[in-house]
Amino acid sequence: MKDSQDAYGHQIYDRLKGKVAFEIVEREDGFFTSGARYYLSSYEDWHTHEKKALRYVRGRVLDIGCGAGRISLYLQKRGYDVLGVDISPLAIRVCKLRGLKKAKLIPITKLNSKLGVFDALIMFGNNFALLGNPKRAKWLLRKFYRMTSRNARILAGSIDPYKTNDPAHLEYHGFNRSRGRMPGQLRIRVRYRNYVTPWFEYLLVSKQEIRKILEDTGWRLTRTFASKGAAYIALIEKER
């Protein structure tokens, strides 16, 4: 990723330096949303469903899309062997500045068994969406199966795209269906100041859709942790 494309990284780096920073998420249909997310927030400020899900972490951990390292740093302090990975060079720099011992610049598609064997994969912050689309999701989940231990778990955050009454979202769902795509299969990019990421696929799914995606990957959905809104975390375990 070029520096001019690292909008996400520049935003969290500026926040680390005490600046006011807001990211803009642009969807392909022209819809925009913005906000200052809690990338640098402490455990006390996290959502309840995230805290509950973290009780199921075990062994060696891979934090996929680690961002500023809030999950990795929390687990590291509690004695876990954690590796944080992200596609953003500045995000990895922020992780290291904040004290994360193991952080690597690796795209999700390049993850493989060369990194070692993991017992838990963390995908908080709606990072199940980084799987991109149904076909790529199955491919990546099979890769994850091969790089994890026998009793490994995935803790994956998502947003149920159907829990909305917003006409703009409902219209986009219809637009996706007309193209043979899943309703929550977004094409977006992130903007911050004069930095703009490339367009990328971002897959929001319901619990029922996660079950469908997991078929024939060696994984199964065993539990979900719900929030007060549309966000939730899925506990995904290996089939036995």
Can you give the residue range of the structural domain that contains 62?
Answer: 3-238
CATH code, domain carrying 39: 3.40.50.150
Q: What is the DSSP letter of 18?
A: T
Say whether 16 sits in a helix, a strand or coil: helix
Average confidence (pLDDT) over 171-177: 98
The pLDDT value recorded for residue 89 is: 97
For residue 162, pLDDT beyond 90: yes
194 three-class SS: coil
CA distance 104 to 65: 10
pLDDT at 36 over 80: no
- Residue range 236-240: average pLDDT? 93
Say what the pLDDT of residue 119 is.
98
What one-letter code names the amino acid at 131? L
High-pLDDT (> 70) share of the chain, %: 100
Domain count, the chain: 1
- Order the strands of the 219-226 sheet from edge to edge: 103-105, 82-86, 61-64, 118-123, 148-159, 231-238, 219-226
pLDDT at 134 over 80: yes
Phi-psi region of 179 (alpha: psi -120 to 50; beta: other; left: phi over 0): alpha
Q: How far apart are CA 20 and CA 224, in angstroms?
A: 34
Say what the pLDDT of residue 61 is. 98
Report the length, in residues, of the chain.
240
Using one digit for the tens of pLDDT, what is the confidence trace for 65-124? 999 999 999 999 999 999 999 999 999 999 999 999 999 999 999 999 999 999 999 999
